Amino acid sequence: MEYSDTIQSLITEESVTLYWDKPEAFPRQGYYKIILDGKPVGSTKKTHYTIDGLEADTAYEVEIQLLEKDGTGGDTGVHREMIELRTGKKKVRIDITQSPYFASGDGKTMNTAVIFNRNLLRLAAGAFYIPAGTSFTGASTVQPFLLLISDHP
């Protein structure tokens, strides 16, 4: 089977959210069955579905089947599409208030040099942890795919 170019995805290291268009001729009793690597993982009447609990940096094949209840307790296949995807690599979480960085959340100290340190960015693989507190930073260019994790609501 050929892979779909109409299914969109938002992929993290542990999950994927799939989005697709509802066909014009959507059956009255229609629904979507989601299959991950040949095993059913759920169903929905919506045009999006999230699969959680995936392994980081792993390839998966997802099939979305459009089915219709046939009135006898069974289902009739109407349409199906597949997508191949790979989850993101596991990000290293670095607490920038710990050694050797010692950023301060005291509400007074400027932390720009720590937060945007090139070596820290490389080590963090794009993920830093900023604990609760008030951390100040000046202007800086942010790297693509930088993930800031914070305890702030």
CA distance 62 to 35: 6
Q: Tokens 């994790």 belong to which residue?
A: 149
| pLDDT confidence band for 15 (50 / 70 / 90) | very high
On average, the pLDDT of the chain sits at 78
Tell me what pLDDT residue 127 has.
Answer: 62
Q: Write the pLDDT tens digit of every residue in 57-67.
A: 999 999 999 88
In the predicted structure, residue 122 carries a pLDDT above the cut 70: no
Asked if 49 and 17 touch (Cβ cutoff 8 Å), the reply is yes
Distances from the Cα of 6 to the Cα of 17, 20, 23, 29, 94, angstroms: 14, 6, 11, 23, 37
CA distance 2 to 20: 16
Give the DSSP H or E segment for 18: strand 16-19
Residue 20: name the closest of 76, 83, 86 by CA: 83
Tell me what pLDDT residue 116 has.
Answer: 67
Tell me what pLDDT residue 138 has.
Answer: 57
Q: Write the pLDDT tens digit of every residue in 132-144.
A: 666 656 555 555 5
Is pLDDT larger for residue 113 or for residue 31?
A: 31
| pLDDT confidence band for 121 (50 / 70 / 90) | low
Tokens representing 16 are: 């994927």
Is pLDDT larger for residue 9 or for residue 145?
A: 9
